[in-house]
Every structure is written in structure tokens, then in C-alpha cells.
Structure 1
């Protein structure tokens, strides 16, 4: 009967009667089961590759890590940098209209500039996925920016046209080292924000653009066996492309711009002998199907008497489409993982070498056109092109020369390396394959000279750091196989302003 005299109390406390008598209260809940262990927080020790560097006034703390996106960022290792970014720096980034990444069709068509201006350059006021895109754009821009937020105290250029600064080795010597901490912190913050916003899951132009930029940042910082951001970028574009085509026809300019970005994506895979992520169906949706054959394109160019600049732009779209097709053919039939399971086919090698011969004939014609144009320019009245300046006929001509050279070079070097590494054991077959290898080597030497030439044609701070792995491969080729071209290599190094970027 004592149990019924107990009265439940708030918060599970024993009733006053049981407290007075010192007996167990029947209305007090008792914990059942095994006692739960006590949770303890594990102390995270700093590592050699991840260390915090803070300023004396505590205004910013940056993390430096060589593989910042290998694992999900942790709160104790990543600073939310956007709250401490200078609004003047953010505004400067989004004022640029003609620099990467704003030339990508997904970003140029977005409202991200207006969104950032409406938020007064305060990224925390943006919607989550717009904030991710803004962070990605800022992280990519920091790779080349000369703003004090990026370079910190010390000498820095006033613009990309500051020739006095860029002509001084002493000025640019430490710029790459000075920019590294903020570049890594911005990259890490962009990755963290992208994971929080789940941009991998929902196809949208905004999310596709962010994935494209994150892959670009990954290519800058590290080498991977897979490219998750690139896979998501292509997947989103693949889902959206039919909607774009259903609502608006494909213009010639849109097709040309998309063909350039598709070619760049394909050459990134070709460089590392990785599968081509963009299918032929994707390519036709984005660039159209009305493309002359490779032989037909060469015939059109050779039929023109003294072709001038008017042939450049119409030629570039079909040229880049064919270069993309050849990159896919290279992986599927010669140097891909499946193709490597069986001996190298002479017939396929001859077919690919024949296509490269035609492609290089087109490159030679385009190079002659660009070289003749540059030779005709009066340097006193036509200043050299500056990164980020509005496009002109001169800058477009030089860009066409760059695209032509990079496309051919991106195909011939992996092809030559594959022939060199897979010479057959049988003597007669080995001798025949060696002839093809020598032909490929001669083309590769031509490509090295063309790259050296096009670098001289372009603004010094033109190549983003992601391009340097490809340029490094060419430097190795020149040193190993073409020592007579070392002067070209030295010229390339002086024109690339490596210490400013790296």
C-alpha cells in the first residue's frame, strides 16, 4: 500500500513522503539497462601538413594543406574566410567580365554578379548555392589576383598591364609563395560550402558551374585517379542540355564556345590517360552536328587564296570538334585501359597518325594567318594584349592560335609516349612501329615549337596554374628528346612568370 501513497513530482524527483521516510520512491523513474559510457572529446593534434598561421592582430587565420580536399574539411581546420574577405577584393573579382572563370557559358549566363552586388559583397547573405558559386569564383581568381588580400604586404602590380612590375624578377619572385595560404584557405572553404549545400545532387546551371570550378581547383593542387567534381559537372550539363535545346536554338557562337570548353575538358583527361567523361551524344547536343569532315575542312582552307583573319573564327569550331573526337579515339583504341589489354594495332596507329597529319596541316595554315597578322601590327599603336581586357580582333586571333596549338599538342604527346612505351618484341613489327614512333616524335617537336611561339603571342600572366602540369610534360619532352629546342624552353619560362603564380 505504500506505493499508492507516492505522488509523481516534476523532473522525476522523489515525492516528499519518500524523502521524509528515506525509502525508494515508486514513482521515480529508474535507469534500466547497462550504464552508458561517458563521451569524451578527442583532442586533435596539429599535423605537419596542416598548420594554422595567424596574424598578430588575430584578424585572419589561414590553414595550409597540400591536399585540402582529400577528406571532408573539419571545423577545427578550416576558417570561414568569407566573413573576413575584404569587400573591395570581392567587388574587384566580380567586376571582371572577360577573365576566367566568367568566360564559361554557364557563368556568363548566370546572375551571380548581380547577386553579389545586391548582397553588398557579403557572401554570407547569399542563398547557399549562390554562395558556393561565389566562393568558387573567388578561389579561382585568387590563383592570379594581385589584390593585397591575396598577396599581402609587399610589392604587387597595379594591373596586369603593369609592365614595369612584371619585367622585374625581384618583384615577382615571392608572389606565388605569398598567395599560397589564402588560395588554399579559399579552396578549402569552397569545398566545405559545396558539401554542405549538396551541389552534387541537384542538376542546375549554378551547381554545374561550381563543380566545374572545383575540378579546376583540384587540377591546380593535386593529381587524382578520379575527378568527382568533373563527373558531377558533366552529369549536370548532360541533364540540362536537352532543356536548353528545347527552349532556344543553338547559335554558332554558343557552339564555338562550348566546343572550346569541351575540348579543354577532354584534353585534361587525355593528359592523365583517364576515361573521356563527355560522350559523343553530349558533344553533339552542345556543339551541333553540322560539322565538315576533317579532310573537308582542310580542303576549304587550302582552296582560299591567301586566307586572312576571316577564316579563323569559322574554322575553330569544327577544328576543336575534330580534336575532341580524336582524343576520344586515342583513348578508346590506343592508350585507354581496355585498349592496353591487347597488342598495339598497326592499322589503328596508321589511322590515327593520318588524322593527326591532316590536323597539323590545318594548324600550320592557322598559324601562318595569325603570324602574318601579328607581323603587320604597328607595336607603337597597338599595345600587347592584357589579361582581362575586352576582346579585340587582335586578342581573338592570338586566342585562336593558342587553341590550335594546345589541341594538337594535347593529342600528339600522349600518342608519341604510348608508341615509345609499347614497341612490340617481334623484330620486324618493332621496326615498323619505330618508323611510326619517329613520325610522331617529329610532330611532337613541331608542337613544342608552336607552343613556344604561342606563349610569346599571349599576355605573360595568361596560363592558370592548372595548365602547368601539361606545360611541365612538354618541358620534359624538350629536355629528353629535343635538346635543340632548349632556347624555346627558356623563352617559355621567362614568358610564363612562374614565380608570380606558383
Structure 2
């Protein structure tokens, strides 16, 4: 045989969709989708299969043989199957979910901003199959998350639906909003299963890249809407990728293009709040905070003093932006403190530190003072986005309630009489902080632009609604009318839960429907008490509008 004759290159393996259909596949070079997948408009992914006979000198051959005999899978991997059928990923549908619907600030997350996915999608005219594998999976994740507020027929099917996200007439109907969440659920589950499966097959959780980091971020975000795994594996992978990528961003000068320190500081705070709310281990370390948010700012006392002295500032519109990062930074540090000293695994392995509770209350009180000053200034400053006010309020509320629940739990588990009395006093202080947190979050929600859609904060809104309902039920055993401010907060949470029902399958759970009804019952009772001395007709008109 002539040694100069070139060996025929091996044919790449068939893609997963073609193997599943048992048809001949024509693999393309450089990870491009095969012609059959392009024609059918399905995601073309390939799982490599090891070929060849096993090495004879492999030391664990007997063990492998026994496992193969019993039919055990050596690398089982998770199951991402769905009984639902995915919608056709046509360019028109992808463009709808990807380009037109930017109601969620998560699309502006700095990890996504570090990618070129927006320009890449426009370059291929939103044909998802023309993208390289990692970008293709990221685009699928963005379309999947975008489907949570889509009003496209492929998502909602037949039946009443809004003409656009600005359709106020449709959004005023509670029943129609909740029905949309029910109709949307099967399509979203199918898309989510496909996104998880595609990400797993390309190793997004293992290989650091800008696209894979953004994919892991979005998959963790989807876990927040589906009450996913407690360990947050996708969030862990997201930050593991960032630790590899960020030093290169610094060297290349692209760190500022991802949003700079303020945006990263807000993003880390939101992640800490998710862990605090779900009682899962923090995935953010102090080094992550320094790497992504810059050096530690001056003390809280210094921040409060600066805010108090800014009353007479002639350029407050510029000064307030400089104050946001220190506030968010200190709030993120406090979230790590909550985990390390009170709610974390190590903190629970030993005796409770009452000093840690007192320290937390003291710091949280200072942060509330800073929040009050910031909100007072921001609300008198033109062109301040409501999302910024919401994030500030969410930061304080997102720690106040988990802290209160932790102190409440510690008190109930304490068998020492004298310590129990001290914990009762601490729990009352934590309760006061939680009440302030509920007011702050309700105010932040009211400041959001209308309409808005934040599916990921469903659990937070539900938890706060339940807390405020317990407060309302305990107000004079439910017989004394609620204060005007408390009534307004209950109305805010009821309205927000209904709007979230447009995205999520809230109406399929009796608990969620009952929660909304209880909120509205308290509001209606308070409105009757408020307007009854004035005019019974006015009461009926107001309740009808409500």
C-alpha cells in the first residue's frame, strides 16, 4: 500500500435528532447543523459516543464487565425529557421571544452583555440553527425564558390573549391572566427541557466561555421559576466560569462593556437574595465580590453621612449614582454575613450566637436608614428608572424576611428558658425589620414600569404576601380595619401575583389562587370601611374597578 495515499477522514457521528428518528444523518463540519435539522427547524446537537474496543490492560476491566452485564449506566446523566411538544423554532418565533420582548431586566445581565448573542442572532436573521453550538444553546435558553411572557400563538395557543404587552384591558382581568399561565405551561416545560438537554450535551456546565456562562446563568434563573434543585448547580457553574473569564476581561478592557461595577454589584446582590430566600449555600465568595464589584467602599456610617449631607447638593442627580454601589455592596456583604453566622451549614452545626443576631440587626437598621435616604432623593430626581428603586428595595426586603424566619425558628427550637426569653425579644426586633421590608418591597413594585414581567421573583412575592396576610389576620383578630398603607401594600401584592400568573402556572395550584383571594378579601373589607361613611354607591364603583 502506498504510504503517500491520504487516509480517508472518518465520518463525524450522527446528530441526536437523526439518531432518534433512525434516519441517515449528514454531519456538517465545524459544528454546523445537519441539513435534516435545518429543514425541520429543530436544534441539532450531537453526543459523542466512545468507539473502539476497550484496552486489554485496563486495570478495572472485571468491574466494567460486571457493570455492563447488569446493564448499569456508568455515566447516567440527568433526564431532561418532556411529554410536551416544542413549538417550531422559526425565525419569526425566535425573533418575537428574543427581540421584541425585553420586559425583564435579566436580559441586561452583565454576563449576557459579555456575549455577542444579540448581534449574532441578527446576523443569521434569527435562524437559530445557523449559529455555532454554544451560541445556539444560549439563544435557545433566551428564547425559552422569553416565552414566559410571550403572547405568541405558538405559546398561548387558541383563546383570549393580549394584543401586546401594553394591552391594559386584557391585563385587568384576573381570570384571563391566570388562564394564560396555564396555557403557557406545557410549551414552556417543553422548551425548558430542550434547553437543559442541549446545554448538558455541549458541556456548558464544564467548559468556561462567555456563551456557556450566560447559558448557566439563564438555566439557574429558570430554576427559580420551577422550584428546582436545592444545590443550584447551574449557578455554581456560572460563577466558576466567571472566575476563569473575568481576569481576561480585565486584561482586554472589556469589563466596562459588561456594565461596570454598579451593574455587577446589583447582579451579585440579587443572586445572594435567591440563596437567602431558598436557604441554599451561597455561591458568591468575598473574592468574587472584589473581582466583580471592585474594592470595598467606605463604611455604612460614611455612606449615611454622605447621604444626609447631600440634601443641599446642587448636583444630586450625579451624586446618587455614586451612592448606589456602596449601598448594594454593603447589602451583599450582609447577605454573606447572614449565611456565615446564622443560616449556613456551619452556623447550624454549633450553638446559636446571640451576638451575631444583634450585629445583624444593627447593620440591617443602618442599611434601612441608608435606603430611606436614597429613596427620598431618588424619587425627587427626574428620569430615575423604577427598576433601580425596585432593586434597592428588594435588597433590604430580601434579607429582612429570611432573617426573621431564622430567628423565629431558633426561638421555637430553644429549650433554655432564659435564652428563650432573650430570643423572643430579638425575634420582635427582627419582626419590626420584616415589617419595614414588606413596605419597602411593595413600594419598589409600585415603582416598576407598567407593564413589567419578572417571573423569577414569584417565590419572593408569594412569601411576602403570606407574611403580610399573617400580619393582617392578626390585626385585631381580623376585625379591626387595616391602615391605609397596609391595605395598599396588600393590594400591590395581589396585583403582582395576578400579573405573575400570566407567566407562570399559578392558577393550577389551589394555594396560589386562595392566596390571591385572601389578599383581595382584606383589601375589599378595608375599602368598605374606608368609603362607607361617604357613599355606598362610591364603594360599589371602587370595588367594581378594583
- Scaled by the length of structure 2, the TM-score of the pair is 0.71
Aligned to 1:438: 428
**Alpha-carbon deviation of 1:297?**
0.9
Q: Which residue of 1 aligns with 2:197?
A: 192
Please give the secondary structure, in 2, of the residue aligned with 1:368.
helix
Match of 1:394 in 2: 383
- 8 Å CA contact 1:156–1:165 kept in 2: the answer is yes
What residue number does 1:29 align with?
Answer: none
SS at match of 1:344: coil
Distance 1:282 1:492, change over 3 A: same
Work out whether 1:112 is the aligned partner of 2:107.
no
Would you say the 8 A contact 1:129–1:197 is kept in 2?
Answer: yes
Match of 1:366 among 359, 374, 381: 374
Q: Which whole-Å deviations, capped at 9, do the CAs of 1:355-384 have from their partners, x for residues lacking one?
A: 0010000111122234445xxxxxxxxxxx
Task: Tell me, yes or no, if the aligned pair for 2:275 and 2:282 is still in contact at 8 Å.
Answer: yes
Residues 201-244 of structure 1, C-alpha deviations (whole Å, 9 max, x = no match): 21011000000001111121123221111111110001111111
Q: Kindly tell me: are residues 249 and 318 of structure 1, through their superposed partners in 2, closer, same or farther at Cα, counting changes over 3 Å?
A: farther
Contact 2:94 2:143 (C-alpha < 8 Å) held by counterparts: yes
The 2-side partners of 1:309 and 1:432 are apart by 44
1:181-211 per-position Cα deviation (integer Å, ceiling 9, x unaligned): 1111110111111111111121011000000
The residue that corresponds to 1:314 in the other structure is: 322
| TM-fit CA distance, 1:455 | 1.6
Larger radius of gyration: 1
Partner of 2:468: 478
SS at match of 1:107: helix
Which position in structure 1 is the counterpart of 2:139? Answer: 134
Shift of 1:164: 2.4
Pairing 1:300-379 to 2, within 5 Å after superposition: 300-305=306-311, 308-373=316-381
Residue 494 of structure 1 corresponds to 495
> For residues 311 and 443 of structure 1, do their structure 2 counterparts lie closer, same or farther at Cα, with a shift above 3 Å needed?
farther
Shift of 1:170: 5.1
Displacement of 1:300: 0.7
Cα 1:222/1:250, change in 2 over 3 Å: closer
1:104, distance to aligned residue in structure 2 (A) = 1.2
Aligned match of 1:39:
none
The structure that is helix-richer by fraction is 2
Q: CA deviation at 1:309?
A: 4.3
- Cα 1:500–1:306 change in 2 (3 A) is farther
User: How far is the alpha carbon of 1:117 from its aligned partner?
Assistant: 2.5
- Alignment partners' CA distance in 1, 2:457 and 2:175: 24
Aligned residue pairs total 413
1:245-284 residue pairs with structure 2 within 5 A?
245-248=250-253, 251=256, 253-284=259-290
Could you say what secondary structure the match of 2:115 adopts? Answer: coil
Residues 1:73 and 2:80 are matched in the alignment: yes
Alignment partner of 1:294 is 2:300: yes
Cα-to-partner distance string for 1:451-484 (whole Å, 9 max, x where unaligned): 1122222135434222111111111211224544
1:101 and 1:140 in contact (8 A); partners too: no
RMSD, matched Cα? 2.5
The separation in 1 between residues aligned to 2:404 and 2:266, in whole angstroms, is 24
- Give the one of 202, 206, 210 matched to 1:201: 206
Secondary structure at 1:137's aligned position in 2? helix
The structure-2 alpha-carbon separation of the partners of 1:249 and 1:170, relative to structure 1 and needing over 3 Å to count, comes to closer
User: 151-160 or 319-328, which moves further after superposition?
Assistant: 151-160
Q: Does 1:411 align with 2:399?
A: yes
Query: Once structures 1 and 2 are overlaid, which stretch shifts more, 321-330 or 104-113?
Result: 104-113
Cα offset, 1:415, TM superposition: 1.0
Pair 1:251–1:299, CA change in 2 (3 A): farther
**Which of 426, 429, 436 is matched with 2:416 structurally?**
426
* Structure 1 CA distance for aligned equivalents of residues 495 and 241 of structure 2: 40
User: Does structure 1 retain, via aligned residues, the 8 Å contact 2:298–2:326?
Assistant: yes
| Whole-angstrom CA distance in 2 between matches of 1:495 and 1:230 | 26
State the SS of the aligned residue for 1:106: helix
Cα distance in 2 between the residues matched to 1:291 and 1:409: 22
State how far apart, in whole Å, the 2-side matches of 1:316 and 1:101 are: 19
Match of 1:467 among 441, 445, 457: 457
Gap change, CA 1:281 and 1:173, over 3 Å in 2: closer
**Equivalent in the alignment of 2:153:** 148
TM-score, normalization by structure 1 = 0.77
Partners of 2:281 and 2:501 in 1: CA distance: 33
Q: Is the 8 A contact 1:313 1:400 kept in 2?
A: no
The alpha-carbon deviation at position 251 of structure 1 amounts to: 4.5
Partner SS state of residue 352, structure 1? helix
Superposed CA deviations along residues 27-52 of structure 1, whole A, max 9, x for unmatched, are xxxxxxxxxxxxxxxxxxxxxxxxxx
SS at match of 2:311: coil
Q: 1:306 to 1:451 in 2, by over 3 A?
A: farther
Contact kept in structure 2, 1:301 and 1:365, CA below 8 Å: yes
Structure 2 residues not aligned, in runs of 5+: 1-39, 43-76, 474-481, 505-546
State the shift of 1:247 in Å.
2.4
